[in-house]
Chains A and B, each alone.
Chain A
Amino acid sequence: MTLLLALITGLFYAAGIYLILRRSLVKVIFGIMFLGHAANMLIFSTGRLTKGAPAFVPAGAQALVEPFADPLPQALILTAIVIGFGLQAFAIVLFRRSFEELGTDDVDAMRTTDCIEGGDA
């Protein structure tokens, strides 16, 4: 199970980095999403994976008994998912708007702000 998760996480990182290097903004946004999910799954796996062992302290005990999955990474992921969702939603709107304004979704064509004679605002 852990091996499977590790493979999927690696695959997500690879896919994310590949897509973010593409010229089309649509692929870039998919790449950003993949990278976000890859990071989330990486954190998830650091808390260990257990089956049918909720993280409750049993009656009479002072601490969790083995086997248990650390619940803190899961809480961290919740925060990260919410933040990531907001940022990705913003990025989608921004990319759509810039496609409308600039008339292109090709990253290579967006170089006016990089040129020395970059126009005047």
Chain B
Amino acid sequence: MKLLLVLPILLPLVTALVMLPFREHPGVQRGLALGASLAQAAVAVALLARVYAGGILTLQAGGWAAPFGITLVADLLSAVMVAATALIGLTTSIYSLGSIDRERERFFFHPLMQLLLVGINGAFLTGDLFNLYVWFEVMLISSFVLLALGGTPRQLEGSVKYVTINLLSSAIFLSAVGILYGVAGTLNMADLSARLPMIEQRNLLSVVAVLLLVTFGVKAAIFPLFFWLPASYHTPPVAVSAIFAGLLTKVGVYAIMRVFTTVFTGAESEAIFRILLWVAPLTMIVGVLGAAAQYDLRKLLSFHIVSQIGYMLFAIAIQSPLAIAGGLFYIVHNIVAKTSLFYISGIIREKSGAFQLKKIGGLYSTEPLLAALFLVSALALAGIPPLSGFWAKLMVIRAGLESGHYFVTAAALTVSLLTLFSMIKIWNEAFWKDDPGVVSATEEVHGNGRTALLYLPVVMLCGVILFFGLSFEPVYELSARAAAQLLDVGSYRNAVLRGGGL
């Protein structure tokens, strides 16, 4: 049973290694990528079912007892995130079959994608702060190469910005980990949460808390640390943009959630939540206003990533069980809706020849299915019932009102409206107005099979959005249990420190 905990990391890692010799055989690589993603999805579902039924699952690698060995932990929060990662990994591997060119495949696109998943799953499953750093680096180095792969001038320029800011944030993370070890003598999250209340050097702990907030804040693209995101996410191929947009920032949000509820429990995390209550509305507002000015489809969507992060931060900052449940569901909903919108941007580019909204139009008459799928994803993002975003926003806003944060709640509602405005702008420009005829569609060299590969992932994700929206009861149940488990730090501590070895 414990194997389930390692498989989300091991499976993509082994797949990536097996792929390496098949550089000149893209067919083999594609088959392996698809097979591995399917297996990954099965593993993630099994893990989620196991954790839901049997409680927190832990593994001490090598049999060393908890604070000394390498700890892997799956509570419901981690398991849900791994499941979301598996879903996006699967849809992206299908999407990339239809969209990634031969040259990128020759330069190890598929293995890199698998290694990216290794890093993301590792970050979700680790129970140790230093290992979190290591998994972040695994994720980063794969994302660096995926972003730069192809080497067009725009990609390189975006990569320079992305790489520099992320290396800076890694150095900050490492410094924070160093100081924390100096103060506490351990980096195991469960052990830290038990020891930190007894430590006398509170000011050093505050320094560590703020350094960690900055590190994770850079990854999560919170205000004012988000400028790298809209400067780089629109440069690589759509499949890469989409998986970055869906997953990478959410790893940062997950880390904030985990560290400031599980590891830091006292005055330090309360101070961080007070900061977040200011940062959250600013992130929402600046992101959505940035999006309003954009006419490049993917840049517009990139600014919306930033804006949506604000809602998750707000949920984390409130800290009531309803807010955490809402925040968790918001993360999952946003992963699905945002990735779907990025996939759609790729299909729009394929069908009309440009990402620039001013140059395209008339897709409603030529691609009615695409228009319907866009509406589902876009209205979910804006929070229109009965789609997933409505429930996510309802939970967060209700929690905000119950805890008396009226100003931030008002900001959240206003930003919702502005999000709807942005989505309508895309609808009007790309679908509704007549095609201005400036650019011609890219030649369909690959025929209809290729288009189907682009549509299939979007249909899958829209199905998930509709499922979340229409049968919300079980999803709510799951989020509420995950939140209760996350807030019950004692059970996490017990599971890790008293759990058996392999």
Contacts and interface: CB of A to CB of B under 8 A. Distances in A.
Interface of A: 16, 20, 25, 28, 32, 35-36, 38-40, 42-43, 45-46, 70, 72-73, 76, 79-80, 83, 86-88, 90-91, 94-95, 97-98, 101-102, 107, 110, 112-114, 116-121
Given A35-B167, A46-B181, A101-B152, 5 more contacts: A43-B174, A94-B163, A102-B153, A116-B295, A120-B359
Contacts of A119: 154
Contacts of B230: 114
Given A43-B177, A87-B167, A25 B299 contact: no
Nearest to A34: B171
Contacts of A121: 152, 154, 234-235, 355
Contacts of A16: 171
Given A80-B174, A87-B140, A97-B151, A46 B156 contact: no
B154 A20 contact: no
Given A46-B182, A79-B134, A91 B156 contact: no
Given A46-B179, A116-B293, A25 B152 contact: no
Interface in B297-354: 299, 354
A113 B151 contact: no
Interface stretch (B14-22, B25-33, B141-149): B141-149
Nearest to B290: A116
B11 interface: no
Interface residues of B, number: 47
Given A39-B175, A46-B179, A121-B235, A110 B168 contact: no
Contacts of A97: 148, 151, 156
Nearest to B148: A94
A118 B299 contact: yes
A90 B175 contact: no
B235 A113 contact: yes
Contacts of B137: 83, 87
Given A80-B174, A113-B232, A101 B168 contact: no
B181 A83 contact: no
Output the residue of A80, A107, A118 with the most chain B CB within 10 A. Answer: A118
Contact of A90 (B134, B144, B181): B144
A38 B178 CA distance: 11
B85 to A, nearest CB: 22
A118 B299 CA distance: 9
B181 A72 contact: yes
A90 B184 CA distance: 34
Contacts of A87: 137, 140-141, 144, 167, 170
B489 interface: no
B112 to A, nearest CB: 12
A112 B230 CA distance: 12
Contacts of A20: 164, 168
B348 to A, nearest CB: 12
A29 B500 CA distance: 45
Nearest to B165: A20
Contacts of A72: 181
B294 interface: yes
Contacts of B71: none
B435 interface: no
Contacts of A88: 167
13 contacts: A32-B171, A42-B175, A45-B182, A70-B185, A76-B177, A76-B178, A90-B144, A97-B156, A101-B156, A102-B156, A113-B235, A118-B154, A120-B356
A70 B4 CA distance: 34
Output the residue of B152, B159, B185 with the most chain A CB within 10 A. Answer: B159
Output the residue of B148, B158, B174 with the most chain A CB within 10 A. Answer: B174
B178 A39 contact: yes
Contacts of A117: 295
Contact of B296 (A25, A86, A91, A118): A118
Contacts of A43: 174, 177-178, 181
A113 B178 contact: no
B157 interface: yes
Output the residue of B163, B167, B185, B230 with the most chain A CB within 10 A. Answer: B167
Interface in B114-154: 130, 133-134, 137, 140-141, 144-145, 148, 151-154
A14 B153 CA distance: 32
B163 A101 contact: no
B231 interface: yes
A20 B161 CA distance: 12
Given A32-B168, A97-B151, A113 B355 contact: no
B96 to A, nearest CB: 16
B160 interface: yes
Contacts of B185: 70
Output the residue of B164, B179, B185, B235 with the most chain A CB within 10 A. Answer: B164
A76 B130 contact: yes
A116 B130 CA distance: 39
A30 to B, nearest CB: 12
B171 A39 contact: yes
A40 to B, nearest CB: 7
A73 B174 CA distance: 11
Given A90-B141, A120-B354, A110 B175 contact: no
A72 B156 CA distance: 38
B144 A102 contact: no
Contacts of A40: 174
